[in-house]
Amino acid sequence: MLQLLNEHACFGGVQRFYQTDSAAIGLPMRFAAFIPPHAEGARLPVLFYLAGLTCTEETFVTKAGAQRMAAELGMILVAPDTSPRGAGVAGETDAWDFGVGAGFYIDAQQAPWDRHYRMYSHILELRELVVRELPADAGRIGIFGHSMGGHGALTIALKRPDLFRSVSAFAPIAAPSRCPWGRKAFSGYLGTDESTWRQHDASALMASLQTPFPHGILIDQGLGDKFLAEQLHPEAFEAACSAAAQPLQLRRHAGYDHGYYFIATFMEEHLRFHAHNLGLAA
C-alpha cells in the first residue's frame, strides 16, 4: 500500500513524500519522489538517489538543489530512507555509523539485524513500486548517491546492471572492506568472515567484471574531504576500473569537503550525465 504523506508544488512539478509497507523490511518505509511536469500518459526516466550516514528521505530533496534541473530534463527523482525505523533492535541507536540511519544498502545476515535491516532488497522492491505507481519508464532507470549511498549506488548497479542503466557517485565509500565505517558495518551486519564482504564492496566487485557500464561511471571527490584518506579510498575503485576496462571519470576537486555544498555544486553535471545515459537530451 502506497500512502501519500504530503506534496508541494515545485518547479512546475510536484515534490511528494510517501510511505509504503515494505515486504523486504517488514516495516513501513518512507521515500521522497520529485515528479517533473510532463504530458499525460508520458513515461519518464527515473534517477534513484541513495543518501549517506545519518540521513533520511528528506535530506537530498531539501539540500541538493536537484529539482530545478530535473524539471528541465523531465526526470523523476526518488530518494529512499537510509535504514529501517522502529525495528526495535537493541543498540540500533547507540552509534551514528551503525544501525538507524546507517543501513549500508545491504541485506544483513546476522541476527538480530537480519530480520529488518534488508536495505538492498528494499531498494529493488522500491524500484518495482515506482515503476508500478509513478509515471516511470522501467527501461530508463539510473542510480547515484553520496558517501554510504555512493557505496550503495555503485554496488547495486554493479550487481544489477539489468535494472539500473546509469550510475554515478559523490565521495563514495569505494572500498568499505578497507575502512573503519565499512568494516564496522560489514562485521555487524554480515559477520566476521571477510570473504563474504566482497559482494558488497564496489572495488572488489569491479575487479571481477569486464566493462559493466561501457558508457562510463562518474565520481566526484572533494580533496578537502576530511574522510578521504581513512574512509573513502577512491583510488582503489579507480584501479579496479582500470583493470576491468571500465570507463571512469573520477574528478578530484580542490577545496571541496564531504557535505551538501559540494554535492549541490556538481549536481547539475550528474543529472546531465544520467540524462544522456538514459536517452534524454542533456
225 is annotated as an active-site residue = yes
| C-alpha distances in Å from residue 54, one per residue of 50, 66, 84, 98, 215 | 12, 20, 12, 9, 32
Single out the catalytic residue among 122, 151, 258, 274: 258
Q: Is 147 tagged catalytic? A: yes
Q: In terms of C-beta density within 10 A (0-12 exposed, 13-18 middle, 19 or more buried), how is residue 193 classed?
A: exposed
To 10 degrees, the CA torsion angle through 204, 164, 227, 253?
A: 110
Q: Which amino acid is at 150?
A: G
Q: How many other CB atoms are there within 10 angstroms of residue 35's CB atom?
A: 22
Q: Which residue has the cell 566482497?
A: 198
Give the separation between CA 2 and CA 37, rounded to whole angstroms.
Answer: 21
Residue from 22, 147, 166, 177 carrying the catalytic annotation: 147
Q: Is 122 a catalytic residue?
A: no
Q: Which of 81, 107, 201, 225 is catalytic?
A: 225
Catalytic machinery residues: 147, 225, 258
